[in-house]
A and B are shown apart, each in its own frame.
Chain A
Amino acid sequence: MLFPTVTFAVFFAVVLTAGWSLHRNQAAWKLVMLAASFVFYGFWDWRFIGLLLLSTVVNQLGAETIHRARSERTRSTALVVTIGFDLGLLGFFKYYDFFAGSMRDTVGRLGLPTPPLLDVVLPVAISFFTFQAISYVVDVRRGRLAPAPLVDLALFLSFFPHLVAGPIVRASDFLPQLRTRLDPRRIDLTGAAILIATGLFKKVVVSSYLAGSIVDPVFAAPGRHSSAEILVATYGYAVQLYADFSGYSDIAIGIALLLGIRFPANFDRPYTAASLAEFWRRWHMTLSNWLRDYVYTPLGGNRAGPERRDRNLLLTMLLGGLWHGAAWTFVLWGAFHGIALVVERRVAEHRSIVRAVARRRELAVVGAGGGTGGRRPDDDDCDPDDELAGARLDTRRHGLSERSRRWVGRAVTFHVVCLGWLLFRADSVGTALHLLWRLLVGWGPAPLVTPLVLLTIAAALAVQFIPRAATRAALAEISRLPAWAHAVAFGAFLVLVDVLGPSGIAPFIYFQF
């Protein structure tokens, strides 16, 4: 059941009505939501409801064992076994055929035995509910959570707004909300309506348009397209992927809000980032934070020196790439970002050291020259003819102000990210290399680069720079409107999205993960 369909609209209307009718009876509310979530999941594939239930039961057993264990050893063993089960499930369904096929194509050709290919069907949502389950047992082990009732855990793992494509909600964010009664007087209708409306527009109109008009044709046959088309298609894919994924996340968060549940944000204007590290604090934040807290930090994080830190960073990004799909292009994409982050960090550290050394020298010279009485050389009352003026350290570097440096950083970061997206989107390493080659040598006309394509990409990027204060103020004003005005506007907007969008609805890109 896809979000932007009449079927889901009817389903949600029923669930919303039933939910708020039962909000005083928490147990009944949970059961209704749980049943609705299983109906939602069953629409995708009823066969895997059992898998979801199995994951719930095993993780609950693990959490209970960890919580009741008297010894550290038992707690650790229970944690390892439970996580092993979760990763085993994910590994089998998602990666078995990939690794078996890769082995067959490498060592198998040398005549060595390889595991058979099983044509395993990938259950929808397995990447998401597995990571959420792991966050639950680890947080219990760390003492941040007590084991929740089984119904609560089942609802946490299967809750339909975030089930099939995130955001990856932490148990510590979700479960406490189930312990308190929903407040029927304080629902953020405006925030939810805006999120759902913008999410639908991004997914149904923007993402679909860019996919059909330039991204899919160019990536399918790079040899037929010029450098300009490949460049714009790459920018277009950056926008398409953001619109598709953030659109889904927005809808999920908005729907949860209407049901009285708060989800964390998943995107924070990622293309405004001035560095790769900042990009990863703004893009798919729930996954980044999960990887930081459950992979990077347990590996040692940055606590054991720069070499270990870089290794941990690279491993974390490799796993992040692999999480996205069973293909070498995703692994390479993860490696690309890992290496780029390591390089960025090393360069920043080197620059800090160079600046610190230069500063120390400058202060030593200034001090020997009669002293400045402790005055800092970049103070405004310095003699402009001072021969050390050129060595003054202020907010300008290489002649650029902080603001300009930030814009340069944004442009560089955006292009580095786009280079990564090229790997991410290409169906093979060979196609990615072909695209890069054509980007350099494929001069020629670019009929697919139309004004509307350029305008769509430019507008989608520009919107990310709207100041937060302006958005907050606008939403505050809109919230003054009565509920019926929200309804009429939203209903009309739904029709506009339907008319502007393509016929039929393509699934969300992140469903395949």
Chain B
Amino acid sequence: MAAPLHTRPRPRPVRPARTVEGYRKRRPFRSDEVVGATLLALLVAMLLGSQSLVDLASRQPYGTGRTVLVTLARGVHRVASAASLDRPARAIGHWTGRTPTAPVDVDAVLRGLSSPASPVTTIPLDVNPATGLRWVDATRPLRIHLVGDSLMGDLAGPIETIAPVDRTRITLDHRVSSGLSRPDYFDWPSHLARLLQDADTAPEAVVAVFGPNDFQDVEAGGSVLAAGSPAWDDLYRKRVGVVMDLLQRPGTTLTWLTLPAMRDPELSAAMAHLSALYRSEAATRPWVSVVELGSVLDQDGGGYARDLTGPDGTTPPLRQDDGVHLTRAGADRAAAPVWADLARRWGLDG
């Protein structure tokens, strides 16, 4: 009689995982302990992270809510600071580089730029006569810096893809949710001024996009200015002008992107308002060129377009579901005129 077949060893069965391993071996807690512990945990977090709490409260849109939050947060911070409870978080923040560095005196930088006696930023002697800028080749690639908010995050990949790899070094330097209205959230002028301090690594071609986070009330001189009011416009123009003027230096170009239409009509109108401000500020600054994203992303009449037929006959969606950000196809489309502008100004067409 034949011996029974011997099968190979069965693989170890995978037991279905329990919700949390071994919960029966752990001590259970009562509901009052759980609620108490949760509230205590939040209190501990607020005290230990009180500076973050103040920062978070300060970044809220101006209004009564913000005032209340800031007052509460500052109160907590006073208590925490008195007991040095916020020190560990500050120390870790220093170590990780999260702690903001001291702001640069942007006004001093701008005065230095406008002063005839100020030292000229080093520029190569071999200047392309067609462009007035230095020659760009594989041994000295062009340093391109992409700055702005999350829209620049969408655009960066396509710009990097379309730009020649051997003649460009591209740095993406964007901050989600940032803009020029709220330097308390992120101080772009200070950041750019710091970047420009080292002539050897300073960006040469800057591409900037701002706006979607900017149309909000701001505080100035102790009062809150309503977005879109004449006083607000004046203040915002000044902030845009500061960024543009920081990049007025020999051997540096600035490409400013205006905004396409948005799905939300109110937001769209706000972006059109800001784009008009950008154009008017750029018009008096010959080192700034403007690229109209709406020319490639909007419908013919200037309205919002989720998708448009491309030269290849396909109609991919250009905008993400939020009606603001760009899909890859939309960003590819937008990158073309951006690169065309850079290529023209730096003689990289060939």
Seen from chain A, the residues whose Cβ lies within 8 Å of a Cβ on chain B are 6, 9-10, 12-13, 16-17, 20, 23, 97, 101, 104-105, 109, 117, 119, 121-122, 182, 184-192, 194-195, 217, 219-221, 223-224, 253, 257-258, 260, 262-265, 268, 274-275, 278, 281-282, 285, 352, 355-356, 359-360, 363-364, 367, 374, 376, 378, 393, 395, 397, 402, 427-428, 431, 468, 471-472, 475-476, 478-480, 483-484, 486-488, 490-492, 494-496, 498-500, 503-504, 506
Contacts and interface: CB of A to CB of B under 8 A. Distances in A.
A38 B316 CA distance: 34
Contact of B307 (A16, A117, A122, A217): A117
Given A97-B317, A119-B306, A184-B31, 9 more contacts: A9-B45, A13-B42, A191-B20, A257-B20, A278-B11, A397-B8, A468-B21, A483-B36, A483-B37
Interface in B20-52: 20-23, 25-45, 48-49, 52
A192 B45 CA distance: 17
B146 to A, nearest CB: 11
Contacts of B176: 504, 506
B96 interface: yes
Contact of A189 (B2, B29, B157): B29
Interface in B100-154: none
B30 A187 contact: yes
A172 B40 CA distance: 35
Contacts of B173: none
B17 A285 contact: yes
Contacts, number: 226
A223 B158 CA distance: 11
A6 B26 contact: no
Contacts of B64: none
23 contacts: A10-B42, A17-B35, A20-B35, A109-B313, A117-B307, A186-B28, A187-B29, A188-B29, A223-B161, A223-B165, A278-B11, A285-B17, A355-B8, A359-B5, A360-B5, A364-B2, A472-B25, A483-B36, A484-B36, A491-B48, A492-B44, A499-B98, A504-B176
Given A359-B6, A472-B22, A483 B307 contact: no
Given A184-B30, A352-B8, A495 B39 contact: no
Contacts of B2: 360, 363-364, 367
B71 interface: no
B315 interface: yes
A264 B45 CA distance: 29
Contacts of B56: 6
B321 interface: yes
A494 B307 CA distance: 42
Contact of A264 (B11, B19, B93): B19
A376 B7 CA distance: 12
B14 A427 contact: no
| Interface size of B as a range | 35 or more
Contacts of A101: 307, 315-317
B26 A479 contact: yes
Given A265-B18, A393-B8, A499 B38 contact: no
Given A101-B316, A479-B26, A499-B98, A494 B165 contact: no
Given A188-B28, A221-B157, A491-B42, A499 B92 contact: yes
A363 B3 CA distance: 7
B243 interface: no
B49 A488 contact: no
B248 interface: no
Interface string B68-112: 000000000000000000001100110010100000000000000
Nearest to A263: B19
B53 interface: yes
A467 to B, nearest CB: 11
B341 interface: no
Contact of B96 (A13, A187, A491, A499): A499
B20 A253 contact: yes
Contacts of B52: 495, 498-499
A16 B37 contact: no
A8 to B, nearest CB: 11
A376 B161 contact: no
Nearest to A259: B34
Contacts of B21: 468, 471-472, 475
A188 B23 CA distance: 7
Nearest to A289: B16
A10 B156 CA distance: 36
A105 B315 contact: yes
A194 B19 CA distance: 12
Contact of B26 (A190, A374, A500): A190
A434 to B, nearest CB: 9
A495 B49 CA distance: 6
Contacts of A275: 11
A472 B25 CA distance: 8
B229 interface: no
A360 to B, nearest CB: 7
A359 B2 CA distance: 11
B314 interface: yes
A220 B3 contact: no
A188 B20 contact: yes
B27 A20 contact: no
B272 interface: no
B41 A494 contact: yes
Contacts of A6: 53, 56
Contacts of B328: 427-428, 431
Nearest to B27: A479
A281 B316 contact: no
Given A6-B56, A187-B29, A490-B41, A262 B19 contact: yes
A189 B36 CA distance: 11
A278 B160 contact: no
A189 B19 contact: no
A275 B14 CA distance: 12
Interface string B155-173: 0111011000100001010
B34 A495 contact: no
A117 B306 contact: yes
B193 to A, nearest CB: 20
Contacts of A480: 27
B262 to A, nearest CB: 13
B9 interface: yes
A491 B41 contact: yes
Nearest to B43: A491
B157 A495 contact: no
A511 to B, nearest CB: 11
A101 B3 CA distance: 63
B289 interface: no
B299 interface: no
Contacts of A257: 19-20
Given A20-B32, A220-B157, A278-B14, A191 B7 contact: no
B177 interface: yes
Contacts of B22: 468, 471-472, 475-476
Contacts of A263: 19
Contacts of B161: 220-221, 223-224
B26 A476 contact: yes
